[in-house]
Amino acid sequence: MNIVVCVKYVPDAQAGRGFEADHTTDRQGVDGLLSELDEYPVEEALKLAEATEGTVTVLTMGPEDAADAIKRALQMGADQGVHVCDDAIAGSDAVATSLVLAEAIRKVGDIDLVLTGLASTDGSMSVVPAMLAERLGVPQVTFASELSVEEGTVRIRRDSDVASETIEARLPAVVSVTDVINEPRYPSFKGIMAAKKKPVETWTLADLGVDASQVGLDAAWTTVESVEARPPREQGEVVTDEGQGGQALAEFLASRKFV
């Protein structure tokens, strides 16, 4: 089984986040790492590959530093990586991202399964898996809490607040997984050393046959007009209850239009 896992290099959530002059996320002035939610599809891909003697290819797009996301996945056990790196990609929205990733997956070729995380921790849109499936012309099954593959069919369990659904699709397919599907492994010393010898290819938009006018900030379907820092949290008001506490609470809620 040949599996491609799409991962993203994101700003560290523990670091201060900011924006560039063009209102895009600052990815240069802050440390980055493999998106936490992408460790789950990597782990799931490794488990499937181990059970079927398959191959796991990790795919990402982004600046040069995005190679660190691939490096982490290789240390976990993935076999090889593909990094789409092109200056024209900067500022791409989900539509352009799905285009680039789809063309890269086609170039990898002969794929049985494409795995993604629930969402990226910087964008949190959760729409790229569906867009990928549409562009590739394959089924999508999303928000998997459990996953199995048997006889050319992928089966997932999707949990909600009121029910659990079992969904099946024929391979090849695109599957997104949640953060309860497994417990991602931590890279061992052996895995860290082995990752240094694993192949990583770097492709440009030209290698994929994608015109630069189709990606980047100018091609985005939405525009951010302005950004401003969230104001510091103000100290709350302490109400001493001397028989009027309930009334004071009701007045406060009413003043904020909660009631």
Q: Which domains does the chain have, with CATH numbers?
A: 2-219 (3.40.50.620)
Contact 163, 147 (CB under 8 A): no
Contact 103, 210 (CB under 8 A): yes
* Closest by Cα among 52, 68, 49, 50 to 60: 68
* pLDDT tens-digit map of 213-241: 999 989 999 888 888 877 888 888 787 88
pLDDT value, residue 210: 97
* pLDDT tens-digit map of 107-136: 999 999 999 999 888 877 889 999 999 999
Contact 104, 59 (CB under 8 A): yes
β-pair partners for 203: 84
Q: What does each of the 259 residues of the chain score in pLDDT, given as a tens digit?
A: 999 999 999 887 676 667 777 777 766 667 788 999 999 999 999 999 999 989 999 999 999 999 999 999 999 999 999 999 999 999 899 999 999 999 999 999 999 999 999 988 887 788 999 999 999 999 999 999 999 999 999 999 999 889 999 999 999 999 999 999 999 999 999 999 999 999 999 999 999 999 999 999 899 998 888 888 778 888 887 878 888 888 888 988 899 888 8
pLDDT value, residue 94: 93
φ, ψ of residue 119 to 5 degrees: the values are -170, 170
pLDDT value, residue 24: 73
Q: How many CB atoms lie within 10 A of CB 210?
A: 22
Report DSSP state, residue 199.
-
pLDDT value, residue 202: 98
pLDDT value, residue 11: 82
Q: pTM of the entire structure?
A: 0.85
